[in-house]
Amino acid sequence: HPSNHQMEESSILKRAECRAKGGAPGFKVAILGAAGGIGQPLSLLMKMNPLVSVLHLYDVVNTPGVTADISHMDTGAVVKGFLGQQQLESALTGMDLIIIPAGVPRKPGMTRDDLFNINAGIVKTICEGIAKCCPNAIVNLISNPVNSTVPIAAEVFKKAGTYDPKKLLGVTALDVVRANTFVAEVLGVDPREVDVPVVGGHAGVTILPLLSQVKPPCSFTAEETEYLTKRIQDGGTEVVQAKAGAGSATLSMAYAAVKFADACLRGLRGDAGIVECAFVSSEVTELPFFASKVRLGRAGAEEIYQLGPLNEYERVGLEKAKKELAASIQKGISFIRK
């Protein structure tokens, strides 16, 4: 006889399948690294998202506990946990959207590039699984250094013959969230009313806020521009230092990741006019990848927007950003092609 728990699980999954077959709105989403600092609040918030019908939580440790806990929330998504590499393929099969916060975070004194040696291998393994089990899924890649892990993912998909540049998105949403917050503080307005484009990449000087394009239109003194640009570029380090060895941004990151994932799901549903910043395959500059505004639709990043007019401060920043970005992108590509 099946235990109560087993009965509960099989009938729940049957119900989820019925809902999916009935064409009820709902996407299947997997979170890889779900038991981590970002993964846990991200799983919580995705369980609350009405666009999600099935939520797979995968990690190499602790997923049974996180899954049991989150599965008791009385929201629509059906939650299933997957533990260890032997369950990676089951976690990925059938998914529409894969969100990846797997990997080690920074400690004070480290750069994001210092994470490369460990996280490159983790991202490679996960992307090999995606190429095999859900090659059509949209991928939201959070693991650092994003400037290198996105090129790694692209190379893995190319090797497997599954690469669709529209579906691979490096998550830079936290840079936009921070920029909106800090700009709103300076302007003395509600951050929800502010929209700051942040382009380039996701590390130090590669993070390039376009303060001349803030909506609603406003202007900043040279001093304010310098303060805001530095604060946005160093936002991650500010949190790493405040956490003093206990990791990097997790809560604001989970918030930003969910905002971005929700935009991807609304795009998949066919909503019009969904525009977010992301680090994608790009022809906006001479570099093969660049973060800029993209329009999200059924096919992923369907349109990549040009940078628009930059002021002198931003033009100088862009040159600095491109120099560092070129090296980080090449490092990622070489890791797979070596």
Write out the residues near ligand NAD by the rule CB under 6 A.
32-33, 35-39, 59-61, 101-106, 115, 119, 122, 125-126, 142-144, 146, 171, 174, 202, 247-250, 253
CA angle centred on 172, ends 124 and 265, rounded to 5°: 85
Residue 249 engages ligand LMR in binding (rule: CB under 6 A): yes
Among 137, 156, 174, 194, binds ligand LMR (CB under 6 A): 174
| CA 113 – CA 111 distance, rounded (Å) | 5
Cβ distance to ligand LMR smaller for residue 212 or 248: 248
**Which of the residues 117 through 156 are near ligand LMR (CB under 6 A)?**
144
The residues facing 234 across adjacent strands are none
Judge whether 39 is annotated as a binding position: yes
The residues annotated as belonging to the active site are: 202
Residue 322 engages ligand LMR in binding (rule: CB under 6 A): no
Non-local (6+) Cβ contacts of 194 within 8 A are 180, 183, 184, 187, 214, 215, 216
* Neighbouring C-beta atoms of residue 180, cutoff 10 Å: 21
Pick one of ligand LMR, ligand NAD, none as the site partner of residue 33 (Cβ within 5 to 8 A by kind): ligand NAD
Cβ distance to ligand NAD smaller for residue 103 or 267: 103
Cis previous bond, 197, omega within 30 = no
Pick one of ligand LMR, ligand NAD, none as the site partner of residue 240 (Cβ within 5 to 8 A by kind): ligand LMR
The residues facing 297 across adjacent strands are 300
Output the DSSP codes for 70-109: HHTS-SS-EEEEEESGGGHHHHHTT-SEEEE--SPPP-TT
Element (H, E) at 55: strand 52-59
Smallest gap, in angstroms, from Cβ of residue 106 to ligand LMR? 4
Residue 102 engages ligand LMR in binding (rule: CB under 6 A): no
- Sign, CA torsion 162/143/268/196: negative
Residue 239 engages ligand LMR in binding (rule: CB under 6 A): yes
Pick one of ligand NAD, ligand LMR, none as the site partner of residue 148 (Cβ within 5 to 8 A by kind): none
CB 154 within 8 A of CB 144: no
User: CB nearest ligand LMR: which residue?
Assistant: 236
Residue 106 engages ligand LMR in binding (rule: CB under 6 A): yes
Q: How far is CA 103 from CA 106, 120, 147, 285, in A?
A: 10, 9, 15, 29
Cβ distance to ligand NAD smaller for residue 27 or 58: 58
Which residues lie near ligand LMR (CB under 6 A)? 105-106, 112, 144, 174, 235-236, 239-240, 248-249
Annotated binding site: 33-39, 59, 106, 112, 119, 142-144, 178, 253
